[in-house]
Structures are given as C-alpha cells and as structure tokens.
Amino acid sequence: MSMALKQVFNKDRTFRPKRKFEPGTQRFELHKKAQASLNAGLDLKQAVQLPHGEDLNDWVAVHVVDFFNRINLIYGTISDSCTDQTCPVMSGGPKYEYRWQDEHKYKRPTALSAPKYMSLLMDWIEVQINNENIFPTNVGTPFPKSFMQVAKKILSRLFRVFVHVYIHHFDRVTQMGAEAHVNTCYKHFFYFVTEFNLTDQKELEPLKEMTSRMCH
C-alpha cells in the first residue's frame, strides 16, 4: 500500500461512524468468517458463497453492512475531487444519469449533483441498516419479509457509487495508488451480488465491459 493510500485509509474518511457488529452475536461470528475467507486469500468467487448451515438473510446482512462501510470509504478518498462544479449531475458517463428519490423530500426522481446524491444515499443506507425492524441484531429476531427487497435496493444504489468512481474519478484513484484496493472491493461486490442475484442486470450495464475483463 502506498504512503498516500495509507494516509487516506488511516484517516478513516467515512461520512459517518462505521456500523460495527457486536462481539458475541451470530452476525459478528459470520462477519469474522467472511473476513477470514478473504484474509486467507480464498478465491473471491468462493468467498462469497453461503457457508454450510448459515442463514442467507444473515449472510446478506453482514455483507450489506460491510460493503456500505468499504464503499463509503472509497468514495471518501475521492470526495475532494467530486464537487457540485466537477460533477453537477450524478452520472456514469453520458449514457447513464441517476436521479434521487426517497419517501421524504424527493418524492419524484430528482436530478442532483453527485456529492449531494452520495450524501443522501449514505444517510439513507445508514438509516436502513440501523433500523432493528429491517436489520435485526438480536439472535432469534426474524428478518422481515421485505428484507431482501431492501437489501437489493441498497446494493443497487451502492453499485452506482462504483460506476461514478470508475467513470469519473478513476484517475484520482490511480494517482493515490488505490487502484488495486478499489478493484478488489469491486470484484468482491460483483461476485456477491451476482451469486445471490441481488442487482438487476440493467444496473450492471455501465461497467459491463470493464467487469468482463476483470471478473471473467
């Protein structure tokens, strides 16, 4: 890891505190299992597979939180070059524009600058993953029927962060020596969402060519 990259990641430049898993919980043990697979250098395609005897909802919940933390950090590394001036529209090249919609202020899809979109996105995800009714942390508390639907929406929106970073800010990523780190995180994310069919193919379109070179 380059010195510039070390400085960035040591600052832990996330927008907000990382969601942690409580020691002693099943989710914490699953998180450790997932991390151990990665640290052991296990092939990423294998690392994302559901461990024998584990619950799919738990496995997805662990990864949603982990990807939120990691992608949040990746965006934080380039956020100084992603401004209302440089990125007045949240996009992935000329063909793809992402509009924000939520249940509160933006009831209709609304064009926003990339940093504004990112800020709303991270706030929205944080609310979801800290909502005990959606992401229960107590052992024995069942996941709601809508859990997978919410997880898919979170992961689809997080994918858009990769799209924007790769298409508009990859020179900054390379300049900081973070290319290998971002590529590994992307591959891990891609293998996970495709293993469990958690993102629509149309969402994956903007990075299709790059993905076929990197992941196949």
Q: At what angle do helices 56-78 and 114-129 cross, to 10 degrees?
A: 150
Q: The tokens of 81 are what?
A: 């070059």
Residue 63 is assigned to a ligand binding site: no
d(CA 2, CA 53): 40
The answer to the question of whether 82 is labelled as a binding residue is yes
Rounded Cα–Cα distance for residues 28 and 138 (Å): 11
Buried b (16+ CB within 10 A) or exposed e, 66-82: bbbbbbbbbbbbbbeeb
Tell me the backbone φ, ψ of residue 173, rounded to 5 degrees. -60, -45
Structure tokens at 182: 């971002």
169 is in an annotated binding site: yes
- The DSSP secondary structure of 143-162, one letter per residue, reads PPTTHHHHHHHHHHHHHHHH
Cα(first)–Cα(last) distance of the chain, in Å? Answer: 25
Between CA 177 and CA 101 the distance in angstroms is 34
Tell me the binding residues for Zn(2+): 82, 87, 164, 169
Tell me the binding residues: 82, 87, 164, 169
